[in-house]
Amino acid sequence: MAAKTYYIGLGVTYHDPALAIIDETGTPLFVEASERYLQYKRAINCEPDNLNRTPQLLREFCPDAGRFVVATSWRRKRPWYENLMSSLGLLETRRLHRQGIKKLGSPLSNLHIHHMMASNRLSLARAGLNLARLLAEQYASSTVQFYDFDHHDTHAASACYASPFKQASCAVVDSYGENGSICFYRYRDGNLERLHESKGLGSLGLYYMHITALCGFDWMQGEEWKVMGLAPYGRLDEEVYNLLQHVLTVNQLNLEHPRNRLFPALSALEKKRRTTDEPSERAADLAYTGQYFFAQIMTEILSNFHTAYPNDYLALAGGCALNSSFNGHIIHNTNFSKLYVPPAPADDGTALGAAWLAFTRDHGAFPISSSPLSAYQGSTLSTDALKRLVRFSAGLEIRHLPDSVCQETARLLAQGKLVGWVQGRAEFGPRALGNRSILADPREPGMKAKINERVKFREEFRPFAPSILHEFGPDYFEDYQETPYMEKALLFRKEAAVRVPAVVHVDGTGRLQTVKQDWNPLFHRLLTAFHHETGIPLLLNTSFNVMGKPIIHSVEDAVSVFMTSGLDILVIGDWLFAKPEVR
């Protein structure tokens, strides 16, 4: 057997590190964020090539390797400002808190920005260190090459190469890259061309982090989700809106913080800050206005992009592409006619982007696919652990249903049972798409509150997603668009919304998942069985975790959530486990 080349991408941002392995055809073999294995939300300041986890991955996916190409998602050559701060010692632990340094023109404090710089600098310094050792030990006869890529280029590759488009415009919008926060590209026939980069501190990502903090949430823990969930409960605050216009402005394809107006506006906004001992609802108007302004700025800059570089198709990546509330409006509010957002548009996705860029460096244009990337690229559960669970789970009713697990689960869901559903390979990205999911009947009006209270242990305003059979999408949603990764929130049809109140947010939208048989045959079969039981072609779907924890990674994780929450049923593969009170 001829030795092969494997490309290993490392997403090495200090938050959301991830590892990707692709083969010499560019096909992903494994992609996963480090938080899953570590069960540490966002895996802040952790390496992607964990010394305990990576050897197993190499044995499983690279058994016949003769050459490795290791690619990282940031340039090792750092920007001048970062190097200056480092040379002055201001990124060191003992001097990070130093006062008297000139305030940067940003919504975030110098302390926060310098902490991010220092953390990222350390992540880059050790990027691939563990992998280099492991490859030398396990593959001594293999050659190893190391590449590093521009951060925004890896975002763009993760979106364009994963898309079903032959040509498209691509926008990367996040907190920051090597030189700025937004970058624009042209994608054509497997090739990426950079068109423009907005340089400087102007940043929608940093802006949204500041709004998150003002609402009393923790952006370091990724609680921007809470702002999006809370926003529809509020109304436009004219005072806040007027202040925000002094925080961030659009100049063609550039974002700018107007320095002479920024600091007075930020000072005035501080008066609106919600303290942590106040109820979340107090920040509803602030959340609504912050989201409204975000959407306005995004719409303006994407419209300017389309005017400058006309194209019908848009691929969108970067952390701001996780704003599903806005994504659902892009087609209506800009001149783009089709939108693609990858399953992991934030920094975990750059691991795959880096691997793909290394592949194209060797092979030229990326091979085009007519189908979007499958999100099911992560780990499987241990069969040995499942056998132990079957053997030792005293007190649970255990049923093996190789021919009828979907039908029986659908029957229990129709009775109002809460089900943990674990199948196949884990999803890559932040959303559960039917393989690591908690499922429920969407017809019961109180189901949302029930799950938030009994299972997720989170705020009551947080919504849940509908997973719907594709063929019924137009019946349930206005201007239906395929949404394979829960990347867009669309407006329910009024006559359909009353049938599934548990998945309709207060503004009448749902962050849906389109389910097709060829994308996920088993989940499609379950939805079909539920449709036969109830006449409803969709299920309430939320990630299999509790608030503050990543989606479950192992059998042990699944059992822990199952036994310490109000879940009624746990299904792993074709094994069904029920608590004693469930019949």
Q: Is the pLDDT of residue 386 over 80?
A: yes
Cα distance between residue 152 and residue 311, in whole Å: 20
Give the confidence band of 115 by pLDDT, cuts at 50, 70, 90: very high
Higher pLDDT: 54 or 452? It is: 54
| The predicted structure's pLDDT at residue 304 | 98
High-pLDDT (> 70) share of the chain, %: 99
Mean pLDDT to the nearest integer, 482-493 = 97
* Nearest partner of 485 among 410, 435, 537, judged by Cα: 435
- If you average pLDDT over every residue of the chain, what do you get? 95
Mean pLDDT to the nearest integer, 518-527 = 98
3-state secondary structure of 425: coil
Mean pLDDT to the nearest integer, 421-434 = 98
The angle subtended at Cα 543 by Cα 48 and Cα 374, nearest 5°, is: 65
Q: Which of 1-5, 435-439, 473-477 has the lowest mean pLDDT?
A: 1-5
Are 61 and 138 contacting, i.e. CB atoms less than 8 angstroms apart?
Answer: no
Mean pLDDT to the nearest integer, 110-125 = 94
Give the confidence band of 458 by pLDDT, cuts at 50, 70, 90: confident
Q: Is the pLDDT of residue 41 over 70?
A: yes
Are 180 and 194 contacting, i.e. CB atoms less than 8 angstroms apart?
Answer: no
The DSSP secondary-structure symbol of 55 reads H
Mean pLDDT to the nearest integer, 248-272 = 93
Give the confidence band of 97 by pLDDT, cuts at 50, 70, 90: confident
Q: Which of 100-109, 542-551, 563-572 has the lowest mean pLDDT?
A: 100-109
| The predicted structure's pLDDT at residue 105 | 86
Cα distance between residue 347 and residue 72, in whole Å: 12
Q: Is the pLDDT of residue 85 over 90?
A: no
User: Is residue 505 classed exposed, middle or buried when 0-12, 13-18 and 19+ CB atoms within 10 A define those classes?
Assistant: buried
Are 562 and 570 contacting, i.e. CB atoms less than 8 angstroms apart?
Answer: yes
Give the confidence band of 100 by pLDDT, cuts at 50, 70, 90: low
| The predicted structure's pLDDT at residue 420 | 98
pTM recorded for the entire structure: 0.96
Give the confidence band of 276 by pLDDT, cuts at 50, 70, 90: confident
Three-state secondary structure along 368-388?
A: CCCCCCCCCCCCCCCHHHHHH
Are 247 and 262 contacting, i.e. CB atoms less than 8 angstroms apart?
Answer: yes
Q: Is the pLDDT of residue 370 over 90?
A: no
High-pLDDT (> 90) share of the chain, %: 89
| The predicted structure's pLDDT at residue 1 | 56
Give the confidence band of 96 by pLDDT, cuts at 50, 70, 90: confident
Q: Is the pLDDT of residue 99 over 80?
A: no
Give the confidence band of 494 by pLDDT, cuts at 50, 70, 90: very high
| The predicted structure's pLDDT at residue 252 | 96
| The predicted structure's pLDDT at residue 119 | 96
Q: Is the pLDDT of residue 407 over 70?
A: yes
* Nearest partner of 426 among 23, 32, 140, judged by Cα: 32
Render pLDDT for 201-242 as a digit per residue (tens, 0 to 9): 899 999 999 999 999 999 999 999 999 999 999 999 999 999
Estimate to the nearest angstrom the gap between the alpha carbon of 127 and the chain centroid: 22
| The predicted structure's pLDDT at residue 583 | 59
Mean pLDDT to the nearest integer, 48-62 = 97
Domains defined for the chain, CATH in brackets = 4-158+347-363 (3.30.420.40), 199-340 (3.30.420.40), 383-578 (3.90.870.20)
Mean pLDDT to the nearest integer, 440-450 = 95
Q: Is the pLDDT of residue 132 over 70?
A: yes
Are 11 and 73 contacting, i.e. CB atoms less than 8 angstroms apart?
Answer: yes
